[in-house]
Structure 1
Amino acid sequence: MSCYLVELYTPNAAWQALPAAQRLQFLAAIGEGLGPLSSLGIELLSLAETDSAIAQASPRQFLGIWRFPTPQARDALLAAIDASGWYHYFAHMNAASGTGAVDAHLAALAAV
């Protein structure tokens, strides 16, 4: 069963205070770390700026959408993100779930 992770994030004051050369060095290390993820079955579906022109738009500036073969693979990515120092530089929010279906989702909504 696949599971998913959606990240929403915005650079914070610590990122904005970081000199450009250090930003590039940090991002290069992040980019290098993304390479081996496919060997774990981790799929990057999107890394992009969010669209602020839609109804009920997120106030976060960027998003990441991932698919994983197992919750353990998801947790490995989350641990790597934490270890990288990412959360020091970005106001970050995660949402995770398994694969869902409309009928089960509507039933869950009705139950709350």
Structure 2
Amino acid sequence: MSCYLVELYTPNATWQALPAAQRQQFLSAIGQGLGQLSSLGIELLSLAPTDAAIAQASPHQFLGIWRFPDPQARDALLAAIEASGWYRYFAHVNAASGTGTVDAHLAALAAA
């Protein structure tokens, strides 16, 4: 069963205070790690700035959307993100789910 992860994040004051060379060094290491994810069946769907012009827009500046073959692959990515030091530099929120259907979702909403 596929599962999904949506990340929302914004650079924090610690990131903004980091010299440009250290930012680049950190991001280079992140880029190298991203290149290894496909071997785990992890599929990157999008890494992009968020659109602030939509109704009810998130205040976060960036988003990542991922698809995984199983929760273990998702948890491996989340562990790697934490180990990288990412959360030290970005205000970050994660949302994860499995694959859902309209009928099951509407039923869950009705029961909430």
Q: Following TM superposition, by how much is the alpha carbon of 1:93 offset from its aligned partner in structure 2, in angstroms? A: 0.1
Q: Which residue is equivalent to 2:105?
A: 105
Instruction: Give TM-score, length-normalised by structure 1.
Output: 1.00
Q: Following TM superposition, by how much is the alpha carbon of 1:86 offset from its aligned partner in structure 2, in angstroms? A: 0.1
Deviations 1:13-42 (A, max 9, x none): 000000000000000000000011000000
Q: Structure 1: which 4+ aligned runs deviate by more than 2 Å?
A: none
Q: Following TM superposition, by how much is the alpha carbon of 1:61 offset from its aligned partner in structure 2, in angstroms? A: 0.1
d(CA) in 2 for partners of 1:93 and 1:52?
17
d(CA) in 2 for partners of 1:48 and 1:100?
24
Identical-pair percentage = 88
Q: Which residue is equivalent to 2:61?
A: 61
Q: Following TM superposition, by how much is the alpha carbon of 1:82 offset from its aligned partner in structure 2, in angstroms? A: 0.0
Alignment-mate amino acid for residue 35 of structure 2:
G
SS of aligned partner of 1:77: helix
Q: Which residue is equivalent to 1:73?
A: 73
Structure 2: 5+ residue stretches without partners: none
SS of aligned partner of 1:27: helix
Q: Following TM superposition, by how much is the alpha carbon of 1:58 offset from its aligned partner in structure 2, in angstroms? A: 0.2
Q: Which residue is equivalent to 1:37?
A: 37
CA RMSD of aligned residues (A): 0.2
Q: Which residue is equivalent to 1:28?
A: 28
d(CA) in 2 for partners of 1:44 and 1:75?
15
Q: Following TM superposition, by how much is the alpha carbon of 1:2 offset from its aligned partner in structure 2, in angstroms? A: 0.2
d(CA) in 2 for partners of 1:39 and 1:26?
22
SS of aligned partner of 2:48: strand
d(CA) in 2 for partners of 1:23 and 1:35?
19
Q: Following TM superposition, by how much is the alpha carbon of 1:5 offset from its aligned partner in structure 2, in angstroms? A: 0.0
Structure 1: 5+ residue stretches without partners: none
SS of aligned partner of 1:81: helix
